Amino acid sequence: MSYARENFENSAQRSSEQLMRHLKTYGACSTASLSKVLNVTSEAVRQQMAKLVEQGLVDSVVSRSGVGRPKQLWQLTTAGHARFPDTHAQLTVQIIHSVAHLFGQTGINQIIEHRGTQQLAEYQAQLASASSLVERVMRLADARDAEGYMARVESDGDDFLLIEDHCPICAAATKCQGFCASELSQFQMLMQGWGQVTREEHLLHGARRCVYRIRKVAPK
């Protein structure tokens, strides 16, 4: 393979990965909006999408919201979402089944509690020197992003939104939602005295991501 051809194929691969990551982060998007993301023509986006559709990673839907002509939007398929890693998914689920079989719900609860205690200690160490709510939220997002949650922070008025566009333990959490409850509890403890944490969107309840609202606590 020539250098020019190899470089072209590598560039196309990067473009496809960038498009998929954008769809994972923001949900269904139009051709026009995706062309702005890549800074390429709409035709170039359509060509990339045609390849992703052939691979079963993307499909199209029609949006009829608002006035005017319906819009074609692109979204990830189940296979497309699966391209973002679910950490050791099959092995994790097998272990959960084995623990439940051998030790019952008590064993499962002990595993969740042990994992939660370890995670909380690690997060506390990373947030220890943070001197403001926004710094604590940003450091938590950095920690979660490093773990594969595609985490980021947005402002919403006086509140902060911790947004996780991917769940690397989704298979385990689907089998045992105690993991999700444990994580919410950790976030609440980490922000105690600084902010009030509530979960507004939940992947396992039909949302495409998990979103946590952190509202600043009024000084006493």
- Write out pLDDT tens, residues 187-214: 999 999 999 999 999 999 989 899 999 9
Last residue of a domain, one of 47, 82, 117: 82
Residue 24 and residue 128 share a domain:
no
- In this structure, of 2-6, 36-40, 46-50, 132-136, the range with the lowest mean pLDDT score is 2-6
Residue 77 and residue 115 share a domain:
no
Measured between alpha carbons, how far is 91 from 31 in angstroms, rounded to an integer? 38
Last residue of a domain, one of 44, 59, 82: 82
The pLDDT of residue 61: 86
Residue 123 and residue 67 share a domain:
no
Measured between alpha carbons, how far is 68 from 30 in angstroms, rounded to an integer? 15
Last residue of a domain, one of 45, 64, 82: 82
- Return the SS3 of 72: strand
CATH number for the domain spanning 22: value is 1.10.10.10
- Write out pLDDT tens, residues 2-19: 443 444 344 556 788 889
The pLDDT of residue 186: 97
- Write out pLDDT tens, residues 147-195: 999 999 999 999 999 999 999 888 888 888 899 999 999 999 999 999 9
**Quick one: what percent of the chain has pLDDT higher than 70?**
89
Residue 119 and residue 53 share a domain:
no
Q: Give, rounded to a whole angstrom, the gap between the first and last alpha carbons of the chain.
A: 68
- Write out pLDDT tens, residues 55-102: 989 998 887 766 667 888 999 888 888 788 666 667 677 888 888 888
Q: How many domains does the chain have?
A: 2
Following DSSP, what letter does each residue of 106-143 receive, concatenated? HHHHHHHHHHHHHHHHHHHHHHTT--SHHHHHHHHHHH
Choose among 160, 159, 156, 158: nearest CA to 139: 160
CATH number for the domain spanning 198: value is 3.30.1380
Residue 95 and residue 194 share a domain:
yes
Residue-range definition of the domain harbouring residue 32: 3-82
